[in-house]
């Protein structure tokens, strides 16, 4: 018995270590992609300020690799989608995803990495608000007060930002709003129909549509600048190739983390990643982080942590309710089987006592 318990505890420990290893890899890769994109787009660093082109390069590269993994290597099982589902569900989500990536990458030209991470703390606020508008979430005063606290924290952080750029902030806030809308639509259009795509399958279906959607503004916004400056001749395959590999590796890491941990663990990992990026931005990139920035983001962080705690309690309550329902169903089925046996034998308690 002791050996069995030791084996079980060893297995659990191994699973925990593996899960947090995947989480650490995801944190490192996510931070790497963010810093790398900032390096490429910032006019003071690599000075290649073409966010639409960079996003299109990512989508083209990810589409090709996803096709290779799904169709050639059969790395993941593909959920076949009908044309109707693709055009009514996947394409709108792809359009929002491309717009979100374009706006968020554009913000790196004007804002620091640390300040962008602080603004991203508004994501739960946007998701909850849009969820209420689309009748996916129910209005609760306590949750709304929590959302208000997060918003106030981010506002304080913005007020304390030494290099505040209103256009950059507008881009990032629009990106948060579009991304939140995309997340809610995924629940409404896909998850409600039992369609759950892993990150590789998502790239297989969504990345090509993102590339097409992005090509429309690219023709009018960035192509004329490319022609004027002749930047196409200076394309560095080493820089952009490694950048694309990091972006794709991040999607693989998401696949591993989602498959081996919970959504809550990933949210907590995201908060850890934000703090690490703020520290990295301040210490290595030398971005200015003021005390008021930290106070404001600290308040927003507490609000996000409490929101995640509420979500965890809700999930636990739902799981407990499901277990109770399953137990009741099992008991009813067991009772029905016992009654059927007695009816078939033509005996009851009194019949049993005759023998």
Whether the pLDDT of residue 190 is over 70: the answer is: yes
Strands (E), 136-289: none
Contacts of 15 (CB under 8 A, 6+ apart): 260
Q: How many CB atoms lie within 10 A of CB 310?
A: 14
Contacts of 130 (CB under 8 A, 6+ apart): 136, 177, 180, 181, 184
Q: Which helix (H) or strand (E) holds 278?
A: helix 263-283
Rounded to an integer, the average pLDDT of 63-68 is 92
The mean of the pLDDT values for the chain is 83
Q: pLDDT tens across 294-349, in order?
A: 999 999 989 888 887 777 777 777 777 777 777 776 666 655 544 454 455 544 44
Which residue did the predictor score with more confidence, 3 or 50? 50
CA 262/CA 246 separation, integer angstroms: 23
Q: How much is the pLDDT for 333?
A: 60
Rounded to an integer, the average pLDDT of 177-183 is 92
Q: How much is the pLDDT for 82?
A: 85
Q: How much is the pLDDT for 347?
A: 43
CA 138/CA 39 separation, integer angstroms: 41
Q: How much is the pLDDT for 10?
A: 60
**The residue count for the chain:** 355
Q: How much is the pLDDT for 214?
A: 96
CA 204/CA 301 separation, integer angstroms: 34
Q: Buried (b) or exposed (e) across 139-173, using 16+ Cβ within 10 A?
A: eeeebeebbebbbebbebbbebbeeebeebbebbb
Q: How many CB atoms lie within 10 A of CB 53?
A: 22
Q: How much is the pLDDT for 243?
A: 95
Q: Buried (b) or exposed (e) across 229-238, using 16+ Cβ within 10 A?
A: eeeeeeeeee
Residue written as token pair 């629940």: 187
């Amino acid at each position: 018995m002791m050996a069995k318990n030791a084996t079980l505890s060893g297995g659990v420990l191994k699973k925990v270590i593996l899960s947090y290893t995947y989480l650490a890899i995801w944190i490192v890769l996510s931070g790497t992609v963010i810093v790398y994109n900032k390096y490429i787009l910032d006019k003071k660093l690599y000075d290649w300020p073409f966010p639409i082109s960079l996003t299109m390069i990512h989508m083209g590269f990810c589409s090709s690799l996803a096709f290779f993994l799904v169709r050639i290597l059969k790395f993941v099982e593909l959920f076949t989608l009908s044309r109707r589902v693709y055009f009514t569900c996947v394409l709108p989500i792809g359009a929002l995803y491309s717009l979100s990536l374009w706006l968020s990458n554009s913000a790196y030209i004007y804002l620091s990495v640390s300040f962008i991470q602080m603004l991203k703390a508004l994501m739960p606020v946007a998701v909850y608000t849009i969820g209420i508008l689309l009748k996916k979430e129910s209005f609760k005063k306590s949750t709304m007060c929590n959302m208000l606290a997060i918003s106030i924290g981010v506002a304080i952080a913005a007020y304390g930002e030494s290099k505040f750029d209103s256009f950059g902030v507008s881009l990032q806030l629009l990106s948060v709003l579009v991304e939140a809308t995309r997340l809610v639509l995924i629940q409404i259009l896909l998850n409600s129909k039992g369609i759950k795509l892993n990150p590789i399958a998502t790239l297989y279906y969504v990345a090509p549509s993102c590339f097409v959607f992005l090509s429309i503004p690219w023709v009018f916004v960035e192509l004329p600048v490319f022609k004027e400056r002749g930047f196409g001749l200076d394309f560095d395959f080493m820089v952009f190739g490694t950048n694309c590999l990091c972006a794709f590796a991040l999607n693989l890491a998401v696949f591993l983390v989602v498959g081996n941990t919970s959504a809550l663990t990933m949210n907590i990992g995201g908060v850890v990643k934000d703090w690490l990026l703020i520290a990295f931005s301040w210490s290595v990139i030398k971005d200015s982080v003021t005390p008021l920035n930290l106070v404001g983001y600290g308040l927003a962080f507490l609000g996000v942590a409490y929101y995640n705690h509420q979500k965890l309690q809700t999930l636990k309550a739902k799981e407990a309710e499901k277990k109770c329902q399953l137990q009741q169903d099992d008991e009813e089925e067991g009772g029905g089987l016992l009654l059927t046996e007695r009816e078939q034998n033509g005996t009851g308690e009194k019949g049993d006592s005759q023998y």
